[in-house]
Structure 1
Amino acid sequence: MTGTAGVPSSTQADGADATEDTAGGRHVAFFTPAPDFGGAQRVTVNIANSLATRGHDVDLVAGHLEGEFVSLIGDRVNTVELAVPEVPGAGILAGVPRLVSYLDDHRPDVLFASRTHTNLAAVAAGRLTDADVHVAITEHSPFTHLPTRKDRVTAALASQVYPYADDVIGVSEGVAKTVIEGTGLSPDGTTVLNNPIDIAAIQSGATEPVEETWLDDPAIEPIVAVGRLKPMKDFSTLVRAFAELHERRPETRLVIVGKGTERDRLAALTADLGVADAVTFTGYTDNPYAYMARASVFALSSKVEGLPTVLIEALACGCTIVSTDCQYGPREILEDGRYGRLTPVGDAEAMAETIGEALDDPTPSERCRERAQHFSMSAGADRYEAYVETVVGD
């Protein structure tokens, strides 16, 4: 249900007052710039839906209510659009006054935020509001990956602001460790909560058809990758690895699912390497699982991650996985290689060799699906509920 654009507002499902608990549940708010494309935003929507289904009063508070994931927000979730004004250089931080107004008016028990700029806004609003709200901010990426001056300035600001949060959540042990090291926070001020996934929805989506019907040809060995086409994901290493592999195994095809700034450069690279006819760029789809389910191997080539949701989703689809052993997340998800193969970051030759080994000796699908259960929405909602009860109390 959608609040009025331009001012903080919320419409409660079933007509109850937005500030009241439902069926003894807690009032929980999730703050996001917009439920747009990306793993962190999808996770936010999934958790909000799950907690609302369990009877909690859940608000999804967005700077702007737009993006690919709006349609995934459940009917039981209250949506609040702050309509953050455009202030050059400020981004979501321009929404702090309106977020403060939301907190003053609706007084949730807990405010969750994720991604650094959003976290900074949430902490500022938490300090300015009169409401007694527990502000829990979440980092999805390690603080060790700061490739630009802007990233370093943001991290320096976070190191000054994060200690004022009530809690800092890392989506993996590795991410939590880097936040502690990068901000000087005490380990007692951090919590690890893995990202959950909606396994039922993923496995349902996996049965859907795809436009590329040739993917159902048993003579073809599809290598599938999913993610934003940006430098950090290092799809260029995957393309180079595929070119080596394809020379030895011409039945292989590479399917890259996603959109981003690297699209044209990657397409040019496939042409330079002579594999353009064997590589498909699908663009964005809200159902990447139909492609994952058809993968002979699912590949992740990232230079750095936090807890890559796509790896967990691939496990739920029963995929044989090859991933770079990047910091952080893949080794944690795959349990040191038990549920998928790990290969060095940026090494196309090693990745090509490892994908070939995976094609010859695939991981049993049921073993992968069993591992995915650790990250199920049910398990994740249990962890989030336990967290909320711990910090809110009676």
Structure 2
Amino acid sequence: MAASRQKEADVPERAAFPRVLLLCPDLEIGGLQRVAVNLAKGLSDLGVRPTCLVLRRGGALRSLLPQHIEVHELGCTSQPLALLLPTSKLGRALRAARPDVVLSFGHMTNLLAAWAKALWGFSFSLVASEHSTLSQRIAGGSTLSRLRRRLRARSLYRKARYVVCVSQGVAEDLTALGIVPAEKARVIYNPIVDPSMPEQAKAPVDHPWLGEEVPVLLAVGRLVALKAYDDLLRAFQIFREEAGLAARLVLLGEGPERGRLEALTATLGLEDCVCFAGRQTNPYAWMARASALVLSSRCEGFGSVLAEAMACGTNVVATDCRSGPREVLEGGRWGRLVPVGDVSALARAMRDALLDPLPHADLIQAAERFSVARSAALWRDLILEAAQGDGKLQKSGER
């Protein structure tokens, strides 16, 4: 009887919660996509049942979503004009879902959601999430091109009820550019750590280097220019020559820079101690077995791999780029920070991480700041704020 009364008491709260739709470009292996998957699971654990709308089909991370979460894959082209036609798959899907709140992930997806809201008159509240330092993203091209992209972002981001920034640095960048008013910006760290991570970290890894005594340095991320893996390779060469330590370097990820980086590896004479291991659905098993993780990026919004490595008890080294790493590592408390592009400093930091590592238990505890549960709770509160701000909470309860 008591259980029945409790169940009945829970019904109004669930009925009143707004309909939530997560809009994501795809579910391929990537930091933004993993954030979307983790958030969907975290919201589900809190009793929210979001629907996931994915622009492109497939993706290795789809298998990580619980079966009770609906996933609709549109198979869309990536061309914005095609996506925004009145008869497009995106428009039909949004009309069918009738969401109260849309959470969009990534800059281009944010713009698409805002465009859809503006062009088709959708009444949903938009909560956009920005994962990059936008001033760096729009830095290329002519002055006119940069101004045009800035004004476009400013116009469309004003359609959002809130803009969630993955770090304080990203929020400050958006407000300084005049793209997002300070009262609309919210900082919520990425949902990284969940109870399944220890088991994933224990999973076997089929690579001979990780079973030997020689230390392994690990880098995880897309092989693109912003990750500065060319700096990492040069720093690793200096490390090998000057540190007097045997070590190996493994890079997890794929991308357009792979051919150039493999050629540079050969030029530097590092073929026997550098491995390009491609994409891995479970990078945590590699992180847990690595001696240190190295992030060499020229630009980051957050730097999820740092929090992931810490959660696996792995020491980290990172460039002190404009936003992300300094916040994640609390100013260097939980890992070594070096200037962007300083390959000699990066080499020294890698050496120090191997010779004087931080305790594994301390790193794991520090990573709890980035728990899925904590992030999902903050997102849930923001969803309610967004719905209440547009008067949608009462309407959902009346359905």
Do these two structures clear the TM 0.5 threshold for a shared fold by scoring above it? yes
CA contact (8 A) 1:100 1:126 kept: no
Letter in 1 for 2:166: V
- What value does the CA root-mean-square deviation take over the aligned residues? 2.2
Once residues 116 and 13 of structure 2 are traced to their aligned partners in structure 1, the CA distance between those partners, rounded to angstroms, is: 22
CA spacing shift, 1:270–1:131, aligned 2, 3 Å: closer
Q: Deviations over 1:213-244 (max 9, x none)?
A: 232222x1111110001100001111111111
More helix by share: 2
Once residues 327 and 338 of structure 2 are traced to their aligned partners in structure 1, the CA distance between those partners, rounded to angstroms, is: 14
Once residues 250 and 28 of structure 1 are traced to their aligned partners in structure 2, the CA distance between those partners, rounded to angstroms, is: 52
Aligned residue for 2:335?
340
1:68 aligns with 2:68: no
Aligned residue for 1:212?
207
Alignment of 1:1-394 (within 5 A): 22=14, 25-85=17-77, 87=79, 90=81, 92-93=83-84, 97-129=88-120, 131-145=122-136, 146-149=138-141, 152=146, 153-218=148-213, 220-247=214-241, 248-393=243-388, 394=393
CA spacing shift, 1:189–1:23, aligned 2, 3 Å: closer
Task: Provide the secondary structure at the position in 2 that maps to 1:50.
Answer: helix
CA spacing shift, 1:93–1:172, aligned 2, 3 Å: farther
CA spacing shift, 1:64–1:90, aligned 2, 3 Å: same
CA spacing shift, 1:86–1:116, aligned 2, 3 Å: closer
Unmatched segments (≥5 aa) in structure 1: 1-19
Once residues 94 and 207 of structure 1 are traced to their aligned partners in structure 2, the CA distance between those partners, rounded to angstroms, is: 47
Once residues 292 and 74 of structure 1 are traced to their aligned partners in structure 2, the CA distance between those partners, rounded to angstroms, is: 24
CA contact (8 A) 2:84 2:116 kept: no
Once residues 226 and 58 of structure 1 are traced to their aligned partners in structure 2, the CA distance between those partners, rounded to angstroms, is: 29
Once residues 355 and 373 of structure 1 are traced to their aligned partners in structure 2, the CA distance between those partners, rounded to angstroms, is: 24
Aligned residue for 1:10?
none
Tell me the percent identity.
Answer: 36
Task: Provide the secondary structure at the position in 2 that maps to 1:141.
Answer: coil
| Off by >6 Å, runs of 4+ in structure 1 | none
CA spacing shift, 1:211–1:391, aligned 2, 3 Å: same
CA contact (8 A) 2:153 2:179 kept: no
Once residues 91 and 320 of structure 2 are traced to their aligned partners in structure 1, the CA distance between those partners, rounded to angstroms, is: 41
Q: Deviations over 1:41-94 (max 9, x none)?
A: 11111111221233212110111232222222221211123332565x747556
Q: TM-score, normalised by structure 2?
A: 0.87
CA contact (8 A) 1:82 1:98 kept: yes
Once residues 155 and 367 of structure 1 are traced to their aligned partners in structure 2, the CA distance between those partners, rounded to angstroms, is: 41
Once residues 276 and 56 of structure 1 are traced to their aligned partners in structure 2, the CA distance between those partners, rounded to angstroms, is: 49
Task: Provide the secondary structure at the position in 1 that maps to 2:50.
Answer: strand
Deviation at 1:131, TM superposition (A): 4.9
Once residues 15 and 50 of structure 2 are traced to their aligned partners in structure 1, the CA distance between those partners, rounded to angstroms, is: 12
CA spacing shift, 1:244–1:93, aligned 2, 3 Å: farther
Once residues 156 and 365 of structure 2 are traced to their aligned partners in structure 1, the CA distance between those partners, rounded to angstroms, is: 40
Letter in 2 for 1:361: D
Task: Provide the secondary structure at the position in 1 that maps to 2:72.
Answer: strand
Q: Deviations over 1:333-384 (max 9, x none)?
A: 0000111110110111010011111111101111111111111111111111
Once residues 184 and 274 of structure 1 are traced to their aligned partners in structure 2, the CA distance between those partners, rounded to angstroms, is: 46
CA contact (8 A) 1:325 1:342 kept: yes
Aligned residue for 1:4?
none
CA contact (8 A) 1:295 1:319 kept: yes
Letter in 2 for 1:63: L
Task: Choose between structure 1 and 2 for higher RCO, CA contacts under 8 A separated by at least 6 residues.
Answer: 2
Deviation at 1:323, TM superposition (A): 0.4
Once residues 157 and 109 of structure 2 are traced to their aligned partners in structure 1, the CA distance between those partners, rounded to angstroms, is: 12
CA spacing shift, 1:86–1:294, aligned 2, 3 Å: closer
Letter in 1 for 2:237: A
Aligned residue for 1:17?
none
Once residues 261 and 303 of structure 1 are traced to their aligned partners in structure 2, the CA distance between those partners, rounded to angstroms, is: 17
